[in-house]
Structure 1
């Protein structure tokens, strides 16, 4: 009873973390505690990210057997739990089980059972190593073993009515590594739609490993997903900080496409959470960021102080403005011409915000900002068009300077032509 209560209190994860701590005494005590908790014929620990009532009822009915076998002891009362489809009672099974063919939800629950079993096994293996003991026979170290999230991906991509919603509880309780595998398998949008902020940690972990892909494939979609989640749940912005090291690595070691992906992602994360700025400064990548965002060769002609000033302008908080010098205005216009989509969006945003000041408007007009802004309104991607329209309105009328890009884009449809071509 004590063992189950301790596991339900989610003690396994901090104990595992303690195994890599700096103090010998703490490590040994944590290892001994894990050894006593993770006996192989005990109940599976509930060391999961988030609980749900229907899955908890099911987990209490499941007992791991030797090796990778699991006994899915599902009783009739489990079928009445909210959100659960009817599941057949099955005996010991492995990953070749065909039970999921008769019920798509079964693949979610079966994967959950493997996640829980793997947590117990990983903790036991770690404690045995820490104590200098041999790993018990028949216990496989879960690290690096073959895992496939394909059944979950297929489930999420299916159009079977009601199945995905019924599976939300089980999906929420999957280990972060499994969520990552599902997202990498092509079900990012489905995971975001179903789990909301429950998918944020998996997305951040994928971004933290972005440096392993030189071309940064998938980074843009992952960051956009984080941005959309942060609009629904403010806590996502705090979690997003964990993605910065992987993006810095990609910026420094990726190929051309990878560097662009990393620079855009770091810019968006900086706008999402101001605390990202300290990590960017610590990594000393501001000059490289400004260059990759689109100034190219022109960045090499500027002093580090000017590049830092440009970065400070690009990351202004919404509703704020600063004085823009003639040189800074010229560099912002350079970004409108040569920047990546993120660089163009950021530059136009500065002009929208800083156009509230008459001196700034004059400096931007002298730098010939109007022509590239008009071109971007006509040909840019949606985000760039919105910001460019807002910049044009800010430069044409002081009273419009503080409009949001969305409101500016709507008004621009009827007024930009009159302002600049009439």
Structure 2
């Protein structure tokens, strides 16, 4: 009963701190190997809760040696043991590169991929969650998942009946596509683009955001992917998220639209026609730091080799906030603002306005309307 009580208490942030402080983690880890079937199941669940929202607990649990027995439960345990062990491993890897590396190197990926093909929906759901978490911070894990053929069953889950399965599958695919060209090719080949675009329109809020992230990553890889995404009519729902989405959706949509516009006059023109410029300029002016960064990036691409777009961007009053961002922004914000202004200045009339704005930029900036 003690381990059951700890599991129940651990579903609370304050209790998680207290349990760790009072020495509750070592005996829970010991029960993973030495306990009865029920005790090891309850211990895995308790450790999953303890790790969920507590970075220091993640470190402590790993240091107590929990990773190998959790992986053993995924390989050889009962269905419930497998489910809670997958949940625990996913939580241990949240924003923890060292744990993610250790879990992958200890051999967790192959049995987790096998769970994706299990008949039980709960096992599929938690396997997708664990793989998505492990792929989020570690390139070795991403490559290994591609080799273990995780992508095909994950794409299959995009059409699942369970919202949780869809959400964790799209999270995993978005992370697998982060900077990994081989995985991107497999994801596209498995037919992921169409269901991802459908989630932009029909999914829950988090599904929409993750689908936009996944499409942004796919679009970054090649012109063929950009063409495939736009052929599925992704631009309109992305522009809608940019206008009226959550903060996370706006950030992901700006990045996706920027990537779709890379070296594509047709896509850039379509994005402008969907009314995205006004939203992007608004984000540069008053958005979060990430909004400003990715909105400026999108404007760089829209203004590249397309004079009609340059005029449309200038007419929306982009020059003043871009000059301000170039002057006062941080890191990539400054870089993208600079490139956006350089692309806009390829239009002679805008170049004059840009020069005047820079001359006056030491004074308080005012929004300037472009006329032609």
The higher radius of gyration belongs to 1
Q: TM-score, normalised by structure 1?
A: 0.45
More helix by share: 2
Q: TM-score, normalised by structure 2?
A: 0.49
